[in-house]
Chains A and B, each alone.
Chain A
């Protein structure tokens, strides 16, 4: 067994790897490197409870210093890995320090896509990824500025809902014609569009930001069709991607993310990857998947630990994700495939369930305020058994009955 395991990134995946290693009896040295100043924390509340002022920052901490000390997990904040020297099994940190590892886990998450526009440097232009981002944004939202959000993805829409809850005027500019284009099925997207509009959010579809105007502060935003909109605060929610720059020249195989197999192993000996930075050969799918979710980060963290401990393991969990916008809890499980038949069911007010049916199996569920359907479908997908399509199509059938 290895003597020293170094984990790059003290987020959801990195922390889980460390915790699971100790739970599995790992007796070696465990170093958890975080580039931020904070103890490991969870991001989902940032765009929701934190912005609305319901959670303070501490509430997002995943494990306290006492826990880490008791588990002999050496947590080092402000420690950015800068280069991987795989030939000598070493890592170079930003301060020049060299760390030797017997096993290395890369759990460095994703970085924000930046939008380089005239005016991007003005005061009032924000991104949201870290707790520091969230706290500054929260403070600014208290003054109820006019908010313009670039991108109608999950985070953009959660920010929109939180900003509305705080009484801000909110506009969302989206390049595509649909909300949450990348992952939501059309019925879910349309449902949520209507909810946002009812709550007073204004959408500009098929448009991109062209420039941000103002003296020192943001005052107006110009769109690519020449429209000018007043705005005092701009939040860019245009997605993330794995940060692979520091790994260049290391010999690590990457595509969109770091390529890993179902045991989170990379092409390099003793190097593993987990979470938002990993692109995974998932047994359920023919193409590698790049998932950005807490579930994926936690499950892959557990898988890495098992693999390092030499246990028989395979990451084959059904992917799942949730989002909260106004009074809607959106829950997704599985991944819809292009040829799927979509069945829309809606039994209660303010709720909807969409099922993506493959030829003989349920591929995915996406639902709003329908936790029963969600939990049942997650199990049906995981079992992978043949399904009776007629019964699934019948809104009278409770999904639970199909288990």
Chain B
């Protein structure tokens, strides 16, 4: 079990548990305040958009071209934007904190 700290769109903070091997999107989708992830992780919709701080962001592989192309075109993109469906969780992600981006 990995623990993550998530700030939802209303600014509420939650501590959630996730399984190693799942994507971050799959962990977030399990909560009513979570992401809608319409395309189910196919890097096609941008509805799983999150912000990671620099340190925690560095614990995941860098953005690939597909993800970059989509993120660039989203409404609320920031430097720290990631698509949570492209991030697979492992033990080193325990304690990571993140924020959900506004819905598109």
Contact = CB atoms under 8 A, between A and B. Distances in A.
B74 A322 contact: no
Contact of B44 (A62, A71, A322, A400): A322
Interface residues of A, number: 27
B29 A376 contact: no
Nearest to B22: A59
A44 B42 contact: yes
A294 B73 contact: no
B76 to A, nearest CB: 13
Interface in A261-303: 294-295, 298
Count chain A CB atoms within 10 A of each CB in B29, B42, B45, B72 and give the residue with the most: B42
A23 B40 contact: no
Given A23-B32, A63-B30, A295-B38, A331 B44 contact: yes
Count chain A CB atoms within 10 A of each CB in B32, B40, B43, B66 and give the residue with the most: B40
Interface residues of A, dominant DSSP = helix
Count chain B CB atoms within 10 A of each CB in A70, A298, A371 and give the residue with the most: A371
Contacts of B32: 19, 22-23, 67, 70-71
Interface in B59-75: 66, 69-70, 72-74
Contacts of B72: 372
Contacts of A324: 42
A45 interface: yes
Contacts, number: 53
A375 B73 contact: yes
A140 interface: no
A274 B43 CA distance: 25
Nearest to B70: A371
Interface string B9-48: 0000000000000000000011110001011101111100
B69 to A, nearest CB: 4
A399 to B, nearest CB: 9
A294 B37 CA distance: 11
Nearest to B30: A67
Contacts of B46: 375
A16 to B, nearest CB: 8
Contacts of B36: 298
B39 A66 contact: no
Nearest to A19: B32
A167 interface: no
Interface string A318-346: 00001010000101000000000000000
A400 B30 contact: no
B100 to A, nearest CB: 14
Interface residues of B, dominant DSSP = loop
Nearest to A43: B40
Contact of B40 (A19, A44, A376, A400): A44
A42 to B, nearest CB: 5
Nearest to B67: A371
A28 interface: no
Interface string B56-98: 0000000000100110111000000000000000000000000
Contacts of B43: 329, 371
Contact of A329 (B40, B44, B45): B44
Given A44-B40, A298-B36, A376 B30 contact: no
Contacts of A226: none
A22 to B, nearest CB: 6
A64 interface: yes
Nearest to B23: A59
Interface in A137-177: none
A67 B36 CA distance: 14
Interface string A367-395: 00001100110010000000000000000
Given A19-B32, A44-B40, 5 more contacts: A42-B40, A294-B38, A294-B40, A371-B69, A375-B69
23 contacts: A23-B32, A42-B40, A44-B39, A62-B29, A62-B40, A64-B30, A66-B30, A67-B30, A67-B31, A71-B32, A294-B39, A294-B40, A295-B45, A322-B39, A322-B44, A331-B44, A371-B43, A372-B72, A375-B46, A375-B69, A375-B73, A375-B74, A379-B73
Interface of A: 19, 22-23, 42, 44-45, 60, 62-64, 66-67, 70-71, 294-295, 298, 322, 324, 329, 331, 371-372, 375-376, 379, 400
For the complex of A and B, list the 4 residue pairs with the smallest distance between their C-beta atoms, beginning with the closest.
A375-B73, A371-B69, A322-B44, A42-B40
